[in-house]
Amino acid sequence: MSADDVERLLADPRIVRHRGKIESAINNAARTLEVQEEVGSLAAFVWAFEPDGPSPTAASTPKSVALSKALKQRGFTWTGPTTAYAFMQAMGLVNDHLDGCDIRGKVEQARATFQRP
């Protein structure tokens, strides 16, 4: 994408119009392609950081710190430990639903049958 594309996106009211986030998304897409060539998929790269055992309720964990560092070493931007942890939650690497939460067991069942990349 070019500088003109960034300017066009900055004017698009349907998205968050923050130059740093737009440029980061473009950069991270290119870094993702590099990871895919090397590892096979971004999913395979990320799942290598799956925590052992139950997940704590936290904004970041040692594994999310490690993922964040690994992404930054590969040139990704806007990928701090808290963002990495939120991504790990969204990808299903962690199940930090509290004990007694109706969803916790369903998530554990799904994780038990999930084929890791």
**Share above pLDDT 90 across residues of the chain, in percent, rounded to a whole number:** 82
The CATH number given to 3-113 is 1.10.340.30
Answer with the residue of higher pLDDT: 98 or 72. Answer: 72
pLDDT in tens, 20-46: 999 999 999 999 999 999 999 999 999
Q: What is the pTM of this model?
A: 0.87
Whole-angstrom CA distances from 47 to 3, 15, 16, 43, 102 are 33, 28, 28, 6, 25
